[in-house]
Amino acid sequence: MALLDQIHRGKEPQPPRITIYGSEGVGKSTCGNSAPGAVFIDAEGGLGEIECARFPRVKTLDDVFAALAELRTAQHDFKTVVIDTADALERFVHAAVCKRNGVDTIEKVLGGFGKGYVEAANVFERILGALDLLRVERRMAVIIIAHTKVEKFADPCDGEYDRYSPRLHKGACAILKEWSDAVLFATRKMRVERDERDRGVAKPVGRGAGDRILRTESGPACVAKNRYGMPPEIPLSWDAIFAAIRDARAKPAATAPAPGTPAAPAPEQAAPPASAAEVAATA
């Protein structure tokens, strides 16, 4: 069969690959646990107060690959794998790379000059490849949780400023951002007010210390992205995530009409909404 005969047209939905990052205690793991059929690969040991399904705490890179292999080959009903967290996972990667090269720090690998981070990025890509096998072969959604850091960003248009980013080395962070279908920044909603001395003071918006939200698009404050056309800000919950994905998938694909062609009438009835499980394991 010729390659031209194999061309696919239109959307081909797959289970989502979502990275959620933010400060400690904002609700990232709780959000991941709300996904359909969630099972955690716990690299931090911070899930003791969450009622969830989880593997025994992983402590090495080999433990991580063993858990991923078990999910790929064994019989189970899990629909979502949650990595908690990416920054703990990166520490395992660095430890494995150092052990293989007989050095005590990543900076000394292969004589230094950043070569250790390059090798670590290659290992990180292997982990993402194993997660992709779960997505393709077992129709599992993937959620990767990470903590946050503040980094300097040199914007060619607007100069240098600070912004939030996942707490990973820049090489691994770039790979994760490119691989993910959505990188969502979890935070609390705040507004800035001026005090009596005309100083900016952050004030919470909503309940308690501020409503918990996800930012879905990059801006001066944070790194974020999504391939679904989500609203710029949604509540920090799996229900809000899957609703945004479902609504985006329900939109008809935009096509440019031929010159002189009248606009097509709007459909009379929208397609029925998908369930959370259908979004997590869309075929």
The CATH number that applies at residue 161 is 3.40.50
Parallel, antiparallel, or unpaired for β 17-22 and 182-188? parallel
pLDDT digits (tens, 9 = 90+) for 104-146: 999 999 888 889 999 999 999 999 999 999 999 999 999 999 9
The per-residue pLDDT of the chain, averaged, comes to: 87
pLDDT of 114: 87
83-110 pLDDT per residue, tens: 999 999 999 999 999 999 999 999 999 8
Q: In whole angstroms, what is the distance from residue 55 CA to residue 57 CA?
A: 6
Which three-class secondary structure state does DSSP give residue 104?
A: coil
What does the block give as tokens for 166? 């996942």
Q: Using the predicted structure, report yes or no on whether residue 273 has a pLDDT greater than 60.
A: no
Distance from C-alpha of 281 to C-alpha of 283, rounded to nearest angstrom: 6
Q: pTM for the complete prediction?
A: 0.84
Would residue 277 count as lying in a domain?
A: no
State what percent of residues in the chain have pLDDT above 90: 64
Looking at the structure of the chain, the number of domains it has is 1
Kindly tell me if the per-residue pLDDT of 197 is higher than 80. no
C-alpha to C-alpha distance for 18 and 141, rounded to whole angstroms: 8
pLDDT exceeds 60 at position 241 = yes
Looking at per-residue pLDDT, the higher value among 188 and 183 belongs to: 183
88: left (phi over 0), alpha (psi -120 to 50) or beta: alpha
Flag whether 40 is in a domain: yes
pLDDT at 150: 94
Taking residues 25-41, what's their average pLDDT? 96
Is 153 contained in some domain? yes
The residue range of the domain holding 137 is 15-250
- Assign 279 a pLDDT band (cuts: 50, 70, 90): low
Predicted confidence at residue 283, as pLDDT, reads 43
Largest Cα separation within the chain, whole Å, is 74
| pLDDT score at 13 | 85
- Taking 90 as the threshold, does the pLDDT of residue 171 lie above it? yes
Please report the pLDDT score of residue 149 as a whole number. Answer: 95
Distances (CA, A) of 272 to 250, 269, 275: 9, 9, 9
Residue 206 lies in a domain: yes
Is 262 within a domain? no
55-59, 86-90, 174-178, 248-252: which range is least confident on average? 248-252
Residue 186 lies inside a defined structural domain of this protein: yes
| Structural domain includes residue 259 | no
9 has a pLDDT exceeding 60: yes
Say what the pLDDT of residue 159 is. Answer: 77
Torsion of CA 147, 190, 238, 185, to 10 degrees: -40
Q: Which residue has the higher pLDDT, 255 or 25?
A: 25
The confidence score (pLDDT) of residue 198 equals: 63
